[in-house]
Amino acid sequence: MIMRKAKNVLFKAFCLGATLLGLGVLVLILYTLFEKGLAGMSWSLFTEVTPGPGGEGGLANAIIGSVMMTALGIVLATPIGVLAGTWLAEFGQNSKTADTIRFLNGMLMSAPSILVGLFVYQLVVVGMGHFSGWAGSIALAIIALPIIISTTEEMLKLVPRNLREAGAGLGTPRWKVIVSLCYRSVGTGIVTGILLSVARISGETAPLLFTALNSSFMTLNPNEPMANLPVTIYQFAMSPYESWNQLAWAGALLITMAILLLNILSRVLPQLKKRRS
Contact 66, 79 (CB under 8 A): no
pLDDT at 277 over 70: no
Q: What's the mean per-residue pLDDT of the chain?
A: 91
For residue 188, give every residue at least 6 positions away whose Cβ sits within 8 Å of its Cβ, in sequence order, or none. Answer: 269, 270, 272, 273
pLDDT at 276 over 80: no
Where would I find the H helices in 88-130? 96-110, 113-120, 126-128
pLDDT tens digits, one per residue of 182-196: 998 888 889 999 999
Among candidate residues 136, 160, 148, the one with its CA nearest the CA of residue 79: 148
pLDDT tens digits, one per residue of 20-69: 999 999 999 999 999 999 988 889 999 999 998 878 899 999 999 999 99
Mean pLDDT of 112-127: 93
Mean pLDDT of 115-136: 94
What gap in Å lies between CA 96 and CA 201, rounded to an integer? 30
pLDDT number for residue 94: 80
pLDDT tens digits, one per residue of 1-27: 778 888 898 999 999 999 999 999 999
C-alpha torsion 26→257→106→188, nearest 10 = 120
Of the pLDDT bands very low, low, confident and very high (cuts 50, 70, 90), residue 268 is: confident
pLDDT at 132 over 80: yes
Positive or negative: CA dihedral 37, 41, 47, 50: negative
pLDDT number for residue 175: 86
Residue type, 33: L
Reported as half-sphere exposure (CB side, CA atoms, 13 A), residue 38 has a value of: 5
Per-residue b or e along 199-224, where b marks 16 or more CB atoms closer than 10 Å to that residue's CB: bbbbebbbbbbbbbbbbeeebeebeb
What gap in Å lies between CA 242 and CA 223, rounded to an integer? 32
Mean pLDDT of 248-263: 92
Mean pLDDT of 114-121: 94
What gap in Å lies between CA 12 and CA 5, rounded to an integer? 11
pLDDT above 70 coverage of the chain, percent: 99
pLDDT number for residue 271: 78
What gap in Å lies between CA 64 and CA 229, rounded to an integer? 9
